[in-house]
Amino acid sequence: MAQVANKVAEAERRERETRQQLDSPAIDRGPYDGDLEDLAEQWVARHAEWRRVADLMDAQGWPVYSPERDVKGSAWARERDTQRAGALARRAAWQRERQGARDELKAQVWLSADVSRRLRAIASRTGLEPEQVLAQLADRVHMDDDGALAVDAFTPR
């Protein structure tokens, strides 16, 4: 019970200090200070949670806090774990997508008017976009032993 009371007091003190920092001029803040508004919100939430735990322990007559008996706190913890797992899964998917994007190449190609007209004509006959024809062409390029690039005859699809 004493530890919970200390946590309530600490959260209250930190909440007050963070609010004072928010009210102080920005010149007093260092370049590496975090987002004070976010920090203030975190301390408000921590203070409220520690007060809830203290009130629960007092109302239930618990000498020691037991998360297993704290139905509301346990539900919130499970919800946070679920949210965290979802966020981690989304982050992992994003990283896999970024890795795939790193392996891809986006190129902007400037072609002469004559080559551009021929490419557009080929694309229109095949029903493809010019970029799709170029992608298929690049997909079939190979390098000879002497370093020359070559493409075997193919029909764009």
Q: Which pTM does this prediction carry?
A: 0.50
Percent of the chain with pLDDT over 70: 94
Q: What is the pLDDT of residues 11-52, one digit of tens each?
A: 999 999 888 888 876 656 565 566 778 888 999 999 999 999
Whether the predicted pLDDT of 58 surpasses 80: yes
Q: What is the pLDDT of residues 71-123, one digit of tens each?
A: 988 898 899 899 999 999 999 998 888 887 777 777 888 999 999 999 999 99
pLDDT at residue 32 in the model: 57
Q: What is the DSSP string of 5-60?
A: HHHHHHHHHHHHHHHHHHHS-GGGS-TT---HHHHHHHHHHHHHHHHHHHHHHHHH
